[in-house]
C-alpha cells in the first residue's frame, strides 16, 4: 500500500500573486493534491516586505476555502533585503561548539544588529579532519519582516511551521523533481524580482536577487502607450491585441529581456571565472516571467546553455478529479517555489 506522509502546505506570497501547493508523498514520488493562485492588489508585498497584511490574508483564506484545504500547517519563504545568506568557513568543531560559536560570533558576518534578526545555519561541507574547515551557510533574517508574515498567518488560524528562503525552496524542488546532480543555473523571474541560484555538485555556490521582473514590462507598456495597468497587463499576456503598437511593444520586450539576460550572464560569468573546470550544463527557468514569448530561445542563444522551463510536477501523480491538467501545465513555472515548500514534512 502506498505510504502517505503528512506534508505542509506551501504558501508562496509573491508581489503579484499568492500561490498555494499541497502535495502528498506516495511511495518515492508525490501526488499533487491542491494547487491554486490568487492575484494580489498592487503594493501588498514590496521588496519582500508585507505591506498590506489584510489584503494578503483575504486572498489566502479564500484560496484555502476554495481549494478545501484542511491542513493548517504551512510553510512560507522570504527573499529580498531583509534576508542575508552568507557562506562562512570555520575551523573544525563539533556540533555543540558550532552552535555556541554562531550565537557568539554571528554579528561579525552580518550587516544587521544581532538583536534584530533571526539566525539559522546549516553545515554544507563538513571538515574531514582537524586541518580542514567546515563550510557553513549562515542565514539572518529581519525579525520584524518575518514576524509580520507570521502574525498575518496566525491571525487566520494558520500554523506557520517553516520559514524558508525562495532560492532554497527552488533548489529543493529542482533536486527532488529532476533527480539530477548536474551543474545548473536556476533562474526564477517573478513580477518584481529575479532570483538566480547556481548549483554545482549539489550545493548552491552563487545566489542573488536582482530587482527586475515581468511587472517592468507592464509598467513600460502602460507608460509608452499611455494606458492603464490592467490594459497593459492584458496586452503583455496577449489577451488583448495592439497591432498598431507592435513596433513599440517589440522594443519594450527586447530591451527588458536584454537587461534580464545581462544579469543572468553576469552571474554565470562570475561562476565560470571561479569554477572553470565544472561548467554549467543547463539553465532552468521558472516564475511567471519565464513565460515571456521567445525568452527561452533568447537566453539559449546568449548563454549557449540548454534552457528548460521548469515544470516541478512533471514526474508527480495528479489528483485528476481536482486539478485540470491544462491548468497545471500553464501554472507550473510560477508554482516552483510553492512546490519547493510543499515537499517539506510537518515538524511536530
Ligand atoms: N505569458 C507571460 N508573459 C509575460 N509575463 C507573464 C506571463 N505570464 C505571467 N506573467 C507575469 O509573471 C508575473 C507573475 O509571476 P510570479 O507569480 O512568478 O510572480 P510573483 O511570485 O508574484 O512575484 P515576485 O516573486 O517577483 O514577488 C506577473 O508579472 C505576470 O504578468
Ligand atoms: Mg515569486
For residue 348, being part of any structural domain is answered with no
In this structure, the answer to whether residues 30 and 151 fall within a common structural domain is yes
Nearest protein CA to atom 4 of ligand 1, as residue: 292
Query: Which ligand 1 atom is the nearest neighbour of the CA of 213?
Result: 26
For residue 4, being part of any structural domain is answered with no
Cell triple for 131:
586541518
For residue 327, being part of any structural domain is answered with yes
Residue 347: per-residue pLDDT: 61
Is the per-residue pLDDT at 181 higher than 90? no
Count Cα neighbours of 161 within 13 Å in the Cβ-side half-sphere.
17
Domain that holds residue 100: 83-141
In this structure, the answer to whether residues 222 and 318 fall within a common structural domain is yes
Span from the CA of 196 to the centroid of ligand 2 (angstroms): 12
Residue 105: per-residue pLDDT: 92
- For 86, the 3-state DSSP assignment is strand
Residue 3: per-residue pLDDT: 43
pLDDT band at 314 (very low <50, low <70, confident <90, very high): very high
Last residue of a domain, which of 108, 124, 141? 141
189: CATH: 3.30.420.40
Cα dihedral 109, 110, 111, 115 sign:
negative
In this structure, the answer to whether residues 136 and 265 fall within a common structural domain is no
Residue 5: per-residue pLDDT: 53
For residue 3, being part of any structural domain is answered with no
Average pLDDT, the chain: 94
Q: Would you say 282 and 308 are in contact if contact means Cβ atoms under 8 Å apart?
A: yes
User: Does the Cβ of 213 fall within 6 Å of ligand 1?
Assistant: yes
Residue 2: per-residue pLDDT: 40
Closest CA to 77 of 50, 58, 53: 50
In this structure, the answer to whether residues 227 and 273 fall within a common structural domain is yes
In this structure, the answer to whether residues 331 and 294 fall within a common structural domain is yes
In this structure, the answer to whether residues 89 and 66 fall within a common structural domain is no
For residue 311, being part of any structural domain is answered with yes
Nearest protein CA to atom 8 of ligand 1, as residue: 288
Cα dihedral 96, 98, 101, 105 sign:
negative
Cα dihedral 232, 237, 239, 245 sign:
positive
User: Does the Cβ of 15 fall within 6 Å of ligand 1?
Assistant: yes
128: CATH: 3.30.1490.300
Span from the CA of 340 to the centroid of ligand 2 (angstroms): 12
- For 240, the 3-state DSSP assignment is coil
Using CA atoms of 250, 255, 261, 265 in order, give the dihedral in degrees to the nearest 10.
Answer: 140
In this structure, the answer to whether residues 221 and 315 fall within a common structural domain is yes
Q: How far is CA 169 from the centre of its chain?
A: 6
In this structure, the answer to whether residues 210 and 275 fall within a common structural domain is yes
Enter the pTM of the model.
Answer: 0.95
In this structure, the answer to whether residues 115 and 247 fall within a common structural domain is no
In this structure, the answer to whether residues 245 and 256 fall within a common structural domain is yes
Residue 4: per-residue pLDDT: 47
For residue 2, being part of any structural domain is answered with no
Span from the CA of 305 to the centroid of ligand 1 (angstroms): 23
Is the per-residue pLDDT at 322 higher than 90? no
Is the per-residue pLDDT at 1 higher than 50? no
For residue 277, being part of any structural domain is answered with yes
User: Does the Cβ of 75 fall within 6 Å of ligand 1?
Assistant: no
The tally of domains found in the chain comes to 2
Residue 31: per-residue pLDDT: 95
For residue 223, being part of any structural domain is answered with yes
Last residue of a domain, which of 141, 156, 177? 141
User: Does the Cβ of 195 fall within 6 Å of ligand 1?
Assistant: no
Last residue of a domain, which of 112, 141, 170? 141
In this structure, the answer to whether residues 257 and 288 fall within a common structural domain is yes
Q: What angle do CA 179, 182, 187 make, to 5 degrees?
A: 90
d(CA 57, CA 72): 14
In this structure, the answer to whether residues 192 and 91 fall within a common structural domain is no
Contacts within 8 Å (CB) and 24+ apart, 295-298: 295/257, 295/260, 298/257, 298/261
Amino acid at each position: 500500500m502506498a505510504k502517505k506522509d503528512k506534508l505542509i502546505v506551501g504558501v508562496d506570497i509573491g508581489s503579484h500573486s499568492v500561490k498555494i501547493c499541497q502535495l502528498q508523498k506516495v511511495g518515492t514520488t508525490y501526488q499533487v493534491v491542491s494547487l491554486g493562485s490568487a492575484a494580489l492588489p498592487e503594493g501588498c508585498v514590496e521588496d519582500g516586505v508585507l505591506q498590506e497584511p489584510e489584503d494578503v490574508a483575504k486572498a489566502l483564506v479564500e484560496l484555502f476555502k476554495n481549494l478545501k484545504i484542511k491542513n493548517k500547517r504551512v510553510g512560507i519563504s522570504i527573499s529580498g533585503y531583509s534576508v542575508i545568506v552568507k557562506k562562512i568557513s570555520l575551523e573544525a568543531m563539533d556540533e555543540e561548539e558550532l552552535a555556541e560559536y554562531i550565537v557568539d560570533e554571528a554579528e561579525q558576518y552580518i550587516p544587521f544588529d544581532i538583536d534584530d534578526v533571526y539566525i539559522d545555519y546549516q553545515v554544507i561541507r563538513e571538515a574531514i579532519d582537524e586541518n580542514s574547515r567546515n563550510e557553513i551557510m549562515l542565514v539572518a533574517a529581519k525579525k520584524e519582516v518575518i514576524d509580520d508574515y507570521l502574525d498575518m498567518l496566525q491571525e487566520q488560524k494558520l500554523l506557520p511551521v517553516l520559514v524558508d528562503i525562495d532560492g532554497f525552496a527552488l533548489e529543493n524542488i529542482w533536486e527532488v523533481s529532476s533527480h539530477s546532480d548536474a551543474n545548473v543555473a536556476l533562474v526564477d523571474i517573478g513580477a518584481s524580482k529575479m532570483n538566480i541560484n547556481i548549483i554545482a555538485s549539489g550545493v548552491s555556490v552563487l545566489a542573488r536577487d536582482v530587482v527586475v521582473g515581468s511587472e517592468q514590462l507592464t509598467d513600460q507598456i502602460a507608460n509608452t502607450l499611455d494606458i492603464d495597468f490592467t490594459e497593459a497587463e492584458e496586452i503583455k499576456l496577449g489577451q488583448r491585441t495592439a497591432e498598431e503598437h507592435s513596433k513599440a511593444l517589440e522594443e519594450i520586450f527586447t530591451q527588458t529581456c536584454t537587461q534580464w539576460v545581462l544579469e543572468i550572464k553576469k552571474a554565470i560569468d562570475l561562476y565560470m571565472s571561479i569554477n572553470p573546470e565544472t561548467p554549467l550544463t543547463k539553465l532552468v527557468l521558472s516564475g511567471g516571467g519565464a513565460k515571456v514569448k521567445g525568452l527561452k530561445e533568447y537566453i539559449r542563444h546568449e548563454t549557449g546553455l540548454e534552457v528548460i522551463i521548469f515544470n516541478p510536477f512533471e514526474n508527480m501523480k495528479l489528483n485528476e478529479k481536482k486539478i485540470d491538467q491544462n491548468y497545471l501545465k500553464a501554472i507550473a513555472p510560477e508554482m516552483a517555489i510553492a512546490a519547493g515548500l510543499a515537499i517539506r514534512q510537518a515538524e511536530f
